[in-house]
Amino acid sequence: MKAIVTGTSRGLGAAIATTLLERGIPVLGLARQPNPTLTRFGVDCTQSALDLSDLAALTHWLSRDEMARFLADDDAVLLINNAGTVAPVGPLGMQGSAAVAQAVSLNVAAPLMLADTLVTASPAATDRRILHVSSGAARNAYAGWNVYCATKAALDHHARAVVEDGVPGLRICSLAPGVIDTDMQVQVRSSDETRFPARERFEALKRDGALVPPAVCAERLVGYLLSADFGRAPVGDLRELSAR
C-alpha cells in the first residue's frame, strides 16, 4: 500500500502523513514547503515541492508521471486531498478575483486532477481509495466564507458523482474532519469580524479547549480510511463516525 497526501508541511496533512508512515505506509507528500519532521522516515517519505494552486505547474508535474513512478505496481493506493485554504474571507466585492481563482484551483481543481490521475497512474491497483478533506462549511453556509463553502461543497458533490461512475475497485469519501487546532484556525480567529461575523464562535472553541489536536484527528481519519467501511457513504463527518 502507498499513499499520496497533499498539504504535508503542517497541520492536519503533516499529522496524516505521520500516522500513515508510522503504520509502515510509504507517503508521497505534496506542499509548497517540505516538512523536516518527516525526514525521519527516510526513503518511505518522498516530498515534492509544488504549488497546487498553480494549475500549469500541477499539469506539468502530473505529465512527468511521478505519481505512476511512486505508486509503481502497488495493488492498494490511497489519495488524501488535504491541502486547502479558507481565504479569501469576506462577502462578494471584498474577495479579489485572483484570490478566488487561487482558492478554487487549490481546493477544487487540484484534488479533481489528482483523483483522475490516480486511476491512470495505478493500473495494477485493485484497491484505490480517495479521501477529500471537506468541511462542515460544505454543508452549512457561513457569512464571509462563500468561496470556502462552495469549494468544499464541490468536493462533496464530486465524491457523490464519482461513486455513480462505478470505477472497479475505487472508493471515495469527502469527509469533514471537525475543528482542528492548526494554523488554519489561527487564521480564522484573526479574521476581521466585519468580514467573518462568526469569528467569536471559533475563538470560544479555542478558549474552551474544543479544538481537536491534529494527531488525534489524523488517527481517526486514517483509521476510517483503512477500514472496511470506507466509502460506504460518499460524504461523511468524522465527528459522527468517531461517536459511533
Ligand X SMILES: NC(=O)c1ccc[n+]([C@@H]2O[C@H](COP(=O)([O-])OP(=O)(O)OC[C@H]3O[C@@H](n4cnc5c(N)ncnc54)[C@H](OP(=O)(O)O)[C@@H]3O)[C@@H](O)[C@H]2O)c1
Residues found near ligand X in the complex (CB under 6 A): 7-13, 31-33, 51-53, 82-85, 106, 133, 135, 177, 179-180, 182-185
117 or 182: CB nearest ligand X: 182
Residue 142: active-site member:
no
Q: From the CB of 73, what's the least distance to ligand X, in Å?
A: 27
Strand-pair partners of 3: 27, 78
Q: From the CB of 25, what's the least distance to ligand X, in Å?
A: 19
* Catalytic one of 61, 70, 145, 148: 148
121 or 179: CB nearest ligand X: 179
CB 21 within 8 A of CB 222: no
Query: Identity (one letter) of the amino acid at 147?
Result: V
Query: Identity (one letter) of the amino acid at 194?
Result: T
In angstroms, the CA 101 to CA 53 distance is: 8
Other residues' Cβ atoms within 10 Å of the Cβ of residue 190: 11
Full DSSP string of 42-60: GGGEEEEE--TT-HHHHHH
125 or 185: CB nearest ligand X: 185
18 or 135: CB nearest ligand X: 135
Q: From the CB of 205, what's the least distance to ligand X, in Å?
A: 9
Full DSSP string of 156-206: HHHHHHHHHHT-TTEEEEEEE---B-SHHHHHHHTS-TTT-TTHHHHHHHH
Number of residue whose CB is nearest ligand X: 11
Contacts of 29 (CB under 8 A, 6+ apart): 5, 6, 8, 9, 13, 17, 35, 38, 45, 46, 47, 48
Q: From the CB of 186, what's the least distance to ligand X, in Å?
A: 8
Q: Which active-site residues does the annotation give?
A: 148
